[in-house]
Structure 1
Amino acid sequence: MSGTSYDAVDAAACDLDHRPEDGVLRLTPLGMVSEPYPADLRTDLAQALPPAPTALADVCRLDTRIGRAFGRLAVRADRELCRGRAELVASHGQTVYHWVADGQVHGTLQLGEPAWIAEATGHPVVSGFRTRDVAAGGQGAPLVSLIDLMLLRGRPGVPAALNIGGIANVTVVPPQADPVAFDTGPGNALIDAAVHELSGGRLAFDEDGALAAAGRVHEGLLRRLLTEPYYRLPAPRTTGKELFHQGYLRSHLGEFRQLPPQDLVATLTRLTARTVADALRPLGATEVFASGGGVRNPTLTAMLRAELAGTRLRTSEELGLPAAAKEAYAFAVLGYLTLHGLPGNAPGCTGAAGPRLLGSITPGRRPLRLPAPPPTAPHSLSVQADGRC
């Protein structure tokens, strides 16, 4: 998969074993490999994303080039992590547009044609996960909420999962109420946009949070940014770089355009921490398990701890899944569920009309033979000891 930061392609490998008698799906991690997008591909992708105008020829070329990049990394993951024994590839694709109007998602588009992955690896590929949830009236996100429920269900208090990619999303699991999941707003999106512009395109992100650490939060700009109507929409809600992009940032700076670069980045980092904490506070979260690229930013995590004011901030490693690979492992699980004829969404979290089988299956080199669906779907996910030698 590649997330909303579109900086690299990640492939995580795992062994999955479902025993219907106990309702547990056992996941043994086998590791992760990652490769940056080729520079020209990343540039062309950035230039095609909203609000930029895009030609269908560009979409076609990107669909093929992203599919080939995914296929190359899937071959590498099979060879290095699975010793050539992989049986299934699950591909999230690269989100390029999420069509949201009046709080409702009307469509979503992920590029990375799965036929290229199937041709490169010889394995069947599950892809196109989000569209079915959207067709059923859901937000199509966060689909990882089903895996969060399986991981967090039964923990004491009110556990929550947080992923900080380009966009930040949360899943909260109260013991006596329905779970809630939604996008809180920008994760790294506005920070990355500012750093890219301030550096004249030389830098893509605030490495180690160094710029933010050297700056001071400008409360006036922070107050202006917090007036964004999205933050007051009811859950479930979802957003993307269709809203939080470089043009959005420029339009909100106004009289603050002359801020020192480090103060701007510090303010945007505080914005991410504040909007995440504001989203979690009313839901009574007692512990938060964080994952995603934002976890590597110590300034962001420090601000988030301060904003959470006593709610324990942990990482997904404590649940057995590396923070950098959690979403990739989640989509491996979703691919497994689809292959076995099992629903892959959590309707109460996405807003869909009910449980749905997600995605489409592209056959590999051999005839496609689907396993018989198990009598019951797994209700919990158990992460086993790392399976790498």
Structure 2
Amino acid sequence: MAMRVIGLMSGTSHDAVDAAAADLRLDADTLHLTPLGTLSQAYDERLRAALTAALPPADTTLEAVCALDTLIGQTFAEVAHRAGRELCAGRAELIASHGQTVFHWTADGRVRGTLQIGRPSWIAERTGLPVVSDFRARDVAAGGQGAPLVAAVDLMWLRDRPGRPVALNLGGIANITVSGGPRGPLAYDTGPANALVDAAVRHFSHGRDPLDTDGALAARGTVHRPLLDRLLAEPYYARPAPKTTGKELFHLPYLLAALAGLPGASPAPQDVVATLTALTARTVADAVRDHAGTEVIASGGGTRNPTLMRMLAAELPGVPVRTSDAAGLPPAAKESYAFAVLGFLTAHGLPGTVPACTGARHASVLGSLTPGSGPLRLPPAATRSPTRLRVTAPP
């Protein structure tokens, strides 16, 4: 069973749409992934500003959500069209679109709903290809957290690595997948990765800078211990897994509340950013230590922040911290490849969740299907789910 799939992703940093194309072939219990390439397209500045203005804790309107759903869908459609032409030589068979998360509804430790926008009809219309989308809602309906869905792919990908490897994604929010151990496989959000750092940089630069490029601001700062201690007292960190979080919790007002009333003089902007970077490193490292991880394989935009990566390595002496290149997938596009795999599983009638990782009652076949320009013809259903993912170089 083989299929050429394009995976589309925009994470909680909501700065760009990433595409990854792959040839996927299922052979017995092994899914073979041959990367065909990646591309990324930044959101239009006005669109990104409108999206930022609508995200929690801001108030918004249904008119704004409808407009964003259309404009983001059109952006995803253009990226999918480019990927089909530039990466797949016009021979892609399926698009798997994560969409853009705008709200993750949690209450009392449970996820009640999740909303990803970017209407797949625009993608199907632009490319003529069938689209799998809305991956997270089915797991939530089955009692799960709806995240991290990449756990199913991570566990296959890391299966043959020695020890207890930990897959780490450093997006707006950090999440880990732990392979093996006495508690079995686990996956959950550890807390903020770039979310609070980005919010602080935008605040202190009055909107001129969207992020701490190359970790330069954090590198000039000193960790402010009272602020770090106050941030580490956040109850989320002590909650048991599975658990998920997002910008519904970790946003600028949350940071400003933490800064209010600190003893002594207010910390300088570079010290705040250094402290927030240290918060990410500490909370990720605490999770790795808690599960006796033997190596960390990191991906996501945070891997481009050398200050964060140095802090994380310093928190984990004796535990190698590598990027996902070491296991064959580029850090910037690893999640896009993961959603290509999830789309492949859905098209073949196979579940894309691990209940131990999301907390769902059972594994689920994920997503909704939007037909392309012709009749919707799915491949024959597979009778056996893969347990291994092997990344192979293109011929």
- TM-score, scaled relative to structure 2: 0.96
1:10 maps to amino acid? D
Of 222, 226, 229, which residue of structure 1 is paired with 2:228? 222
User: Do structure 1's residue 254 and structure 2's residue 257 form an aligned pair?
Assistant: no
Q: Structure 1 stretches of 5 or more lacking a match?
A: none
Q: Deviations over 1:200-243 (max 9, x none)?
A: 10101000000000110011110000000000000000000000
1:170 maps to amino acid? I
Q: How does 1:76-155 map to 2 (within 5 A)?
A: 76-155=82-161
Q: Secondary structure at the match of 2:112?
A: strand
Cα drift, residue 349 of structure 1: 0.3
> 8 Å contact 1:157–1:175 — kept in the other structure?
no
Q: Deviations over 1:99-145 (max 9, x none)?
A: 00110000000000000000000000000000000000000000000
User: Do structure 1's residue 16 and structure 2's residue 44 form an aligned pair?
Assistant: no
Cα drift, residue 285 of structure 1: 0.2
Cα drift, residue 255 of structure 1: 3.1
1:374 maps to amino acid? A
User: Do structure 1's residue 181 and structure 2's residue 170 form an aligned pair?
Assistant: no
Counterpart CA distance in 2 for 1:255 and 1:105 is 32
Of 74, 77, 80, which residue of structure 2 is paired with 1:71? 77
Of 165, 170, 190, which residue of structure 2 is paired with 1:164? 170
Cross-structure match for 1:315: 323
Of 263, 287, 291, which residue of structure 2 is paired with 1:279? 287
- TM-score, scaled relative to structure 1: 0.98
User: Do structure 1's residue 239 and structure 2's residue 245 form an aligned pair?
Assistant: yes
Cross-structure match for 1:51: 57
Q: Deviations over 1:312-363 (max 9, x none)?
A: 1111111100000000000000000001100001111000111100000000
Worse overlay, 172-181 or 280-289: 172-181
Q: Secondary structure at the match of 2:14?
A: coil
Counterpart CA distance in 2 for 1:61 and 1:97 is 16
1:199 maps to amino acid? S
Counterpart CA distance in 1 for 2:385 and 2:185 is 18
Q: Secondary structure at the match of 1:151?
A: helix
Cross-structure match for 1:332: 340
Cross-structure match for 1:30: 36
1:211 maps to amino acid? L
Q: Secondary structure at the match of 1:255?
A: coil
User: Do structure 1's residue 344 and structure 2's residue 352 form an aligned pair?
Assistant: yes
Cα drift, residue 280 of structure 1: 1.4
Cα drift, residue 247 of structure 1: 1.0
Cross-structure match for 1:380: 388
1:350 maps to amino acid? T
Counterpart CA distance in 2 for 1:28 and 1:304 is 30
Worse overlay, 146-155 or 109-118: 146-155
Counterpart CA distance in 1 for 2:143 and 2:129 is 31
2:136 maps to amino acid? R
Q: Deviations over 1:36-55 (max 9, x none)?
A: 10011000000100111111
Q: Alignment RMSD, CA only? A: 1.0
Cα drift, residue 370 of structure 1: 1.1
Cα drift, residue 19 of structure 1: 1.2
Q: Secondary structure at the match of 1:93?
A: strand
2:16 maps to amino acid? A
Counterpart CA distance in 1 for 2:230 and 2:183 is 34
Cα drift, residue 175 of structure 1: 4.9
Cross-structure match for 2:367: 359
Cross-structure match for 1:371: 379
Classify 1:175/1:283 alpha carbon distance in 2 versus 1 (closer, same or farther; 3 Å): closer
Cα drift, residue 279 of structure 1: 1.3
